[in-house]
Amino acid sequence: MPIYEFKCKNCGHEFEIIMRASASKEDVTCPKCQTKNPDRLMSSFSAGSASSGSGFSAASSCGSSAFS
């Protein structure tokens, strides 16, 4: 089951919950103030980096090397 990150609309508390992908965020309750329906955050793990512009790494691990 995936881990989802949330931020409470009421108190601003950020927390993580392991839940089924089919579950609704309306079922999630803030552990700090017990308010329901927090905002789901974009996980930093799933938000990749494209600093080089292409999104691909210059190094390759496919077995070929310019030094062999």
pLDDT tens string 6-20 = 999 999 999 999 988
Look at residue 45 and tell me if it is in a domain: no
pLDDT tens for each residue of 17-53: 998 878 887 889 999 999 998 999 986 665 555 555 5
Total domains present in the chain: 1
Look at residue 34 and tell me if it is in a domain: yes
Taking the mean position of all CA atoms in its chain, how far away is CA 33?
Answer: 23
Look at residue 50 and tell me if it is in a domain: no
Task: Please tell me the predicted confidence (pLDDT) of residue 22.
Answer: 81
Look at residue 27 and tell me if it is in a domain: yes
Task: Match 């496919």 to its residue by tokens.
Answer: 62
Task: Please tell me the predicted confidence (pLDDT) of residue 63.
Answer: 54
Band (pLDDT 50/70/90 cuts) for residue 5 is very high
Look at residue 10 and tell me if it is in a domain: yes
Tell me the C-alpha to C-alpha distance, in Å, between residue 54 and each of 20, 42, 62, 66.
Answer: 33, 21, 19, 21
d(CA 64, CA 52): 22
pTM over 0.85: no
Look at residue 17 and tell me if it is in a domain: yes
Look at residue 47 and tell me if it is in a domain: no
Q: Take residue 66 and report the two structure tokens written for it.
A: 């310019």
The domain of 17 spans: 3-40
